[in-house]
Amino acid sequence: MPRGYVLPPERVLCEQFGISRMTLRQAMSLLDREGLIDSRRGMGTVVTHSRLRKQQQELRSLSEEIRDSLDLAIPARSVRDFFELHEQQKVYEIQRLRLSDGEPLAWELARIPERLCPGLERFEVVKTSLYQILEESYGLRLESCSEEISAGIPSSQYRKLLSLPRNTAVLVVSRKTYTDDGRAVEFTRSVFRGDRHSAMVHSVRKKKSILKGPSSS
């Protein structure tokens, strides 16, 4: 349904789908939490923008999106320490602006140490997954990543770059990726529009094993 579409009244929807009002209201509550609908006094229930989810399900290469630029640069101290680089060692900086139907959604800066993948610029990372290149051409076996997610107030640069509406926050994600032997291979900072993204983390609580002590005779 297009944005701005007004849903029919509860009675009509219940008759259309053959469900009770309780079931319908539970469904509406879920859609409201997902940011897909908005109940407005005097108007009814209106379809809104679908919020794009960031879900930690698998290692996903950010360079599967369109690349804007790839450059070699001497990194800041924090990045150099993360990769354990000497002062003059460089990193590849891949910057990209992610779009949806021409609308800016996120800005990303991925850093890859040159010493792990010299000559990276010769590959078409626009057409090929960066992770695939790192694994197949450089023999780097990517195993895990950690992400730090926080909300923030955008700078004027990000506000202009992402065409942010006034008083809109951003979702900042810092991701660190490691190989199977523990080497740091990627450091990415992503800035997402807060009005178009939400973060969802799935957690599983493992059952504790029951330890039996020695029995007394």
Residues 73-86: what's their mean pLDDT?
93
Same-domain check for residues 44 and 105: no
Task: Answer whether residue 33 is part of any domain.
Answer: yes
pLDDT for 174 equals: 92
Other Cβ atoms within 10 Å of 107 Cβ, number: 21
Q: Are 190 and 199 in contact (CB under 8 A)?
A: no
Number of independent structural domains in the chain: 2
CA gap 90, 109 in Å, rounded: 15
Same-domain check for residues 121 and 182: yes
Torsion region of 60: left, alpha or beta (phi above 0 gives left; psi -120 to 50 gives alpha):
beta
Name the least confident of 6-10, 69-73, 97-101, 137-141: 97-101
Residues 51-70: pLDDT tens digits? 545 444 444 444 334 547 88
Answer with the residue of higher pLDDT: 119 or 68. 119
Same-domain check for residues 93 and 174: yes
Confidence of residue 113 (pLDDT cuts 50, 70, 90): very high
Same-domain check for residues 40 and 80: no
Owner of token pair 């919020």 = 51
CATH number at residue 19: 1.10.10.10
Task: Answer whether residue 106 is part of any domain.
Answer: yes
Same-domain check for residues 36 and 109: no
Owner of token pair 């450091």 = 187
Instruction: Give the domain extent around 46.
Output: 10-50
Same-domain check for residues 89 and 179: yes
Same-domain check for residues 94 and 165: yes
Q: What is the pTM of this model?
A: 0.61
Torsion region of 171: left, alpha or beta (phi above 0 gives left; psi -120 to 50 gives alpha):
beta
Task: Answer whether residue 207 is part of any domain.
Answer: no
Pairing assessment for the beta strands 52-55 and 197-200 based on DSSP bridges: parallel
Same-domain check for residues 60 and 145: yes
Same-domain check for residues 119 and 196: yes
Task: Answer whether residue 165 is part of any domain.
Answer: yes
CATH number at residue 116: 3.40.1410.10
Residues 170-197: what's their mean pLDDT?
90
Same-domain check for residues 75 and 58: yes
pLDDT for 189 equals: 92
Owner of token pair 């369109």 = 66
Q: What percent of the chain has pLDDT over 90?
A: 29
Question: Has residue 183 got a pLDDT over 90?
Answer: yes
Task: Answer whether residue 34 is part of any domain.
Answer: yes
Torsional sign, CA 104, 106, 109, 112: negative
Owner of token pair 């005097």 = 42
DSSP bridge partners of 45: 39
CA gap 25, 98 in Å, rounded: 35
Task: Answer whether residue 81 is part of any domain.
Answer: yes
Same-domain check for residues 30 and 65: no
